[in-house]
Structure 1
Amino acid sequence: MSFKTIIKLMDIKTLVAGVIPVLLGSIYSWYEFGQINLVYLILLMISMMLIQSATNMINDYFDFKRGADSEEKADEKALVSGEITPKQVLFIILIYQLVACTIAIFISSRTSYNILLVGVVGVMISILYAFGPLPISYTPMGEIVSGMTMGIGITTTVIYIHSGVFNLNTVLVAAPTVVYIGTILLSNNLSDLKGDKEAGRKTLPILIGIENSEKLWVFNVIMLIVLTLVLILIGIYPIAVLVFTILLFPYKSVSNFLSYNKNVNTKGRTMGLIGKVGLKYHLSVITGLLISIMFKAGV
């Protein structure tokens, strides 16, 4: 079992979905409530990368057991290529979850044990995503569940850890991230549409078709800007966020996305595009918040 195999198992291109809500929640807590704990920030990022990786592995494990992954996925699936055994994958999942659990217990002991309840719910959802008579990943609800769980769940929890505050504003601030994370899964499912259909899945792209899925992808990307404007108009974000979003947003990603066919062979390109959109958008928001923090401090 090599380091390359572990990276393949973790599916690092998806880890941004766990890291972004942690960064956003931490910086927003600093901006709105003047509270941020750098130790918690580092530990939360490590924990979320481990949890996201473990979730990816759980999904791969059960797909492998069901025979849902074809040989053409050997380049991205370590179990399919035979680089690792199912028992080894289960062992890694256990280690990752134990480390993440230890971090959660430590942070909860310093803040609130309500965090543990949130963690338990998150673990249950990650298991139900891939396990059971009707896994969430086999339904059209995957985008909604992942977006809500990781977008609102992680962001609001992170804000609460830093500041002790949970209210409507801390939920609303996560709205664009909900859309973004759901679009990550939409991108993945759109690329895997053919194989998913053969495996008996009923994902959203299978339900609405390739053309409508592409339209939804474009709509979601545009909604990131629209929701940002709304958050500014209702006083949750400062105007600096809109300025940097307009300046840094990767507008060409939309035309690039529409310029080629989506399939397993172009999956890397599709995931790269949505990753670029998410990173640049959230970098814009975080930069705007940091600039506003500096002005608040009179720098």
Structure 2
Amino acid sequence: MAGNPSKNRKRPPAKKRKPGGNPEKAHVSRDPRRVEPATIRDWVGAARLRTVPLAFTPVLIGTGTAILVTGVFHWVIALACLVVAVSIQIGVNYANDYSDGIRGTDDYRVGPARLTASGRVKPRQVLTVALVFFLIAAGAGLAITIRTQQWWLILVGAACLLAGWFYTGGKRPYGYYGLGEIFVFVFFGLVATVGTNWVQAFVIPQEAWFGGVAAGLLACAVLLANNLRDIDQDRLAGKRTLTVLIGKRATQWLFTVFVLGAFVIGVVLAVFYPIAWLTLMALLAALPAILIVWTYRAPRELVVALGLTSLTSIAFGALLFWAFVG
């Protein structure tokens, strides 16, 4: 009896596929969810170094007014104030990266991708880095408190850290309700400038208040440029910044008023401190920033305006320092 021919027939050996063949015939399995790990450059970018000069400005002005009053340069305390200001600035930037990332706000971003939103870093790692910088600020602040014996400064420091965290953190971040500029003006302008002055002089001259207002206006201008760049994306994400609430045109006017307002203060101080006329040199960076804000075509152009405004701030602060100590 003959067997089943289909069982006795030998199957031809399978053909081996050559590497580099036709991609339509040879399928290569890849994981589309795979994300490259973050590099040092990515971490540095997330620190948003364009905004760090804003931390120098109030320390320069506050130290200048302290020297004006006492005639003494307390460089150790001034350096500690700078550590506090820079650490809080960077810590807030990482905290914003974390908070906006886990909310999904940064999914609509136009600018460079953030660490958390990109998926290249675990959110907990970004949060840890933010907390490290907050701890550095707290440590330097505590050292200033011990040195000056001004124990009430602990409450001021705690308020600064809480303001930094709840800008975009927590269940009801105030940055999502159009209040960001108010807190930036208060903490990155008045508190930082007057506080730096106080711990070195223990008296607050009018010059410190004027300088604090100027520093606060320029810090708010930087925030406006940032939020103007993200206005459409923030609307989609439900982030109601002041820019979203008042619109593009009003933001452009407000940015101009904030930037030029700082120079008005510089002119007023120049009546009593002639070197302060040199603060007008910072207009070399400020005027191009204003021009970009009014004429930009692509949101990415506002990154340049942001950087120029930040440069304006530190130049203004350095020249005002010179006016007070010169």
Q: Which TM-score tier does this pair reach, normalised by the shorter chain?
A: 0.7 to 0.9
Q: Structure 1's 190 and 71: CA in aligned 2 closer, same or farther, altered over 3 A?
A: closer
In structure 1, which of residues 249, 252, 255 is the aligned counterpart of residue 283 of structure 2?
Answer: 249
| SS of 1:69 mapped into structure 2 | helix
- Segments of structure 1 that go 5 or more residues without pairing to the other structure are 292-299
In the alignment, is residue 269 of structure 1 matched against residue 304 of structure 2?
yes
- Which residue number in structure 2 is paired with residue 196 of structure 1? 234
RMSD of equivalent CA atoms:
2.1
Q: Deviations over 1:44-75 (max 9, x none)?
A: 22222111111111122111111111265572
Please say which of residues 174-183 and 278-287 is displaced more in the overlay. 278-287
Distance in 2, matches of 1:247 and 1:51, equals 28
In the alignment, is residue 164 of structure 1 matched against residue 202 of structure 2?
yes
- 1:247 CA displacement: 4.1
Q: TM-score, normalised by structure 2?
A: 0.81
- 1:267 CA displacement: 3.4
Question: Do 1:146 and 1:181's aligned partners in 2 also have CA atoms closer than 8 Å?
Answer: yes
- Which residue number in structure 2 is paired with residue 288 of structure 1? 323
Superposition pairs of residues 53-68 of structure 1, within 5 angstroms: 53-68=90-105
- Which residue number in structure 2 is paired with residue 30 of structure 1? 67
In structure 2, which of residues 295, 312, 322 is the aligned counterpart of residue 259 of structure 1?
Answer: 295
- Which residue number in structure 1 is paired with residue 16 of structure 2? none
In structure 2, which of residues 75, 83, 88 is the aligned counterpart of residue 51 of structure 1?
Answer: 88
| SS of 1:284 mapped into structure 2 | helix
Question: Do 1:5 and 1:84's aligned partners in 2 also have CA atoms closer than 8 Å?
Answer: no
Question: Do 2:166 and 2:174's aligned partners in 1 also have CA atoms closer than 8 Å?
Answer: yes
- 1:161 CA displacement: 1.1
Query: What is the identity percentage for the equivalent residue pairs of Structure 1 and Structure 2?
Result: 23
- 1:257 CA displacement: 3.6
- 1:176 CA displacement: 0.9
Question: Do 2:228 and 2:243's aligned partners in 1 also have CA atoms closer than 8 Å?
Answer: yes
Distance in 1, matches of 2:139 and 2:292, equals 42
In structure 1, which of residues 67, 74, 77 is the aligned counterpart of residue 114 of structure 2?
Answer: 77
In structure 2, which of residues 110, 114, 123 is the aligned counterpart of residue 86 of structure 1?
Answer: 123
- Which residue number in structure 2 is paired with residue 187 of structure 1? 225
| SS of 2:199 mapped into structure 1 | helix
Please say which of residues 63-72 and 212-221 is displaced more in the overlay. 63-72
| SS of 2:105 mapped into structure 1 | coil
Distance in 1, matches of 2:97 and 2:54, equals 17
In the alignment, is residue 14 of structure 1 matched against residue 14 of structure 2?
no
- Segments of structure 2 that go 5 or more residues without pairing to the other structure are 1-37
Q: Deviations over 1:91-127 (max 9, x none)?
A: 2122222222111111111102222121011111112
Question: Do 1:104 and 1:119's aligned partners in 2 also have CA atoms closer than 8 Å?
Answer: yes
In the alignment, is residue 131 of structure 1 matched against residue 169 of structure 2?
yes
| SS of 2:59 mapped into structure 1 | helix
Distance in 2, matches of 1:193 and 1:48, equals 28
| SS of 2:297 mapped into structure 1 | coil
Q: TM-score, normalised by structure 1?
A: 0.88
- 1:229 CA displacement: 2.6
